[in-house]
Amino acid sequence: MKQTSVVDDVTRAAVELFASQGYANTSVQQVVEAAGVTKGALYHYFQSKDDLLFGIYERLLSLQTERLTAIVARGEPTAETLRAVCVDVIETSVDFLLEGTVFFRSAHMLSAPRQQEVTRRRRAYHDTFAGIVERGQAEGLYRTDIPVAVLVAHFFSDVHYLSHWYKPEGPEDKTVLAHQLTDLFLVSIAASSASALASAAGSTASAEG
C-alpha cells in the first residue's frame, strides 16, 4: 500500500545527491537511477534539471514563510515572538538540513529569473524578521547602536551555517541547539548590551566580561 510517486522519489533522490555531490556534479542520469525511474518519466514531471533545484527551494521557502507567518499571527509580545521565530527557524533548518545544504551552495546555479524569485522571497522573509527587531527597538528591548541589517545578518548567519557544521547524528540535540543559538543572538542584541560597543569601537584594549 506504500504509494510512491515519481515526483516524490525524484525529489528525494535529488536532494540527497545535490547535497552530497553538488548540483553541478550530479547528472540527471544519477538522479533517475537513485530514484528508480526513467529519464523520460522525470522529464514528464520536470521541465529541466533547474526545475528539480527550484522545487527544493520552493518547498523550503514556502514552509518557512508559512511558519513565520503563523508565529507572527499569534500576536504575542515582541520578545516572545522573536524568540519563537528564532527557535523555530533553527529547528526547521535542522529538519531540512540537506535542503539547506543544497540551497546555500547551489542557488547561484539557478536560471536568472528563478534566482530572482528566490531572492525576492528570501528578502520578504528577512524583511518580516527585520520588522520584528525594529518593533523591539522601538519598545526599547533591543540595541540601536548597530544597524538592523547587521543584526539580521548576524542571526541568519547562524541558520545558514548550520549545514556546514551541524551533524544530526552528533551530540547536539536539535532543540537544545536552537535555544542556545537563539540565546546567543538575543543576548547580543539586548538593549543592555549596547554600551559595550561604545567603548570598544575605537580600541582593542577595553575589557569585557
Partner DNA sequence: AATGAATGAGAGTTCATTCAT
Partner DNA sequence: AATGAATGAACTCTCATTCAT
Nearest one of 61, 129, 130, 53 to 92, comparing CA atoms: 61
Nearest one of 91, 60, 88 to 76, comparing CA atoms: 88
Nearest one of 119, 190, 120, 129 to 156, comparing CA atoms: 129
In the bound state with DNA, the residue whose beta carbon lies nearer, of 22 and 121, is 22
**40, 75, 113, 170: residue in contact with DNA (rule CB under 7 A):** 40
**17, 37, 56, 133: residue in contact with DNA (rule CB under 7 A):** 37
45 lines the binding site for DNA (CB under 7 A): yes
Q: Where on the chain is the footprint of its own copies (CB under 8 A)?
A: 21-25, 79-80, 83-84, 87, 104-105, 108-109, 136, 140-142, 146-147, 149-151, 153-154, 156-158, 160-161, 164-166, 171-172, 176-177, 179-193, 196-197, 200-201, 204-205, 207-209
Long-range contacts (CB closer than 8 Å, 24 or more residues apart) made by 123-130: 124/65, 125/61, 125/64, 125/65, 125/68, 126/152, 126/156, 128/68, 128/69, 128/72, 129/68, 129/85, 129/155, 129/156
CB of residue 11 to DNA, shortest distance in Å? 13
**8, 20, 44, 199: residue in contact with DNA (rule CB under 7 A):** 44
Please give the radius of gyration of the chain, using alpha carbons only, rounded to the nearest integer.
20
29 lines the binding site for DNA (CB under 7 A): yes
In the bound state with DNA, the residue whose beta carbon lies nearer, of 6 and 79, is 6
Per partner kind, with CB cut-offs from 5 to 8 A, the member of its own copies, DNA, none near residue 135 is none
Q: Which residues bind DNA (CB under 7 A)?
A: 6, 25-30, 37-41, 43-45, 47-50
